[in-house]
């Protein structure tokens, strides 16, 4: 059984984070995997997630969105796997569209 998944959005997000110097290829991020071990979501490392939430929670304009992201993060935290950004990009590009 072949499962199709479009990783273009994830790839673009990660490349934008690298270009904006929020991530480096040697940084670690956390991924949530689905039933077939495919990446279904990604998050910064735990320290960065907590720092970003603290920063966003102080801003009334982003507080609701930050809370929603952190709720999702905390809900999935036990199932997240640490992966280096460079390895994640390789995996996403290799598996784009055909899993």
Number of C-beta neighbours around residue 39 at 10 A: 19
The predicted structure's pLDDT at residue 65: 78
The predicted structure's pLDDT at residue 17: 95
The predicted structure's pLDDT at residue 50: 87
What's the token pair of residue 7?
Answer: 């990783």
The predicted structure's pLDDT at residue 1: 45
**Residue 2 in domain:** no
pLDDT in tens, 19-35: 999 999 999 999 999 99
**Residue 3 in domain:** no
Q: What is the pTM of this model?
A: 0.83
**Residue 19 in domain:** yes
**Residue 71 in domain:** yes
Reference 28, options 13, 5, 48, 10; nearest CA is 48
Total domains in the chain come to 1
- Write out the residue range of the structural domain in which residue 37 sits: 8-95
Query: In which region does residue 37 sit, left (phi positive, over 0), alpha (psi from -120 to 50) or beta (all else)?
Result: left
Beta strands, E only, 1-99: 28-33, 39-44, 81-84
Q: Which residues of the chain have pLDDT under 50?
A: 1, 99
**Residue 41 in domain:** yes
The predicted structure's pLDDT at residue 11: 96
């Amino acid at each position: 059984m072949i499962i199709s998944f479009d990783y273009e959005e994830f790839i673009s997000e990660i490349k934008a984070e690298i270009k904006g110097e929020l991530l480096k290829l040697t940084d670690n991020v956390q991924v949530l995997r689905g039933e077939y071990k495919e990446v279904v979501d990604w998050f910064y490392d735990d320290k960065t997630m907590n720092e970003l939430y603290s920063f966003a929670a102080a801003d009334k304009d982003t507080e609701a969105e930050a809370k929603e992201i952190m709720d999702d993060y905390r809900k999935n935290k036990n199932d997240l796997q640490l992966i280096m950004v460079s390895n994640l990009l390789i995996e996403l590009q290799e598996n784009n569209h055909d899993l």
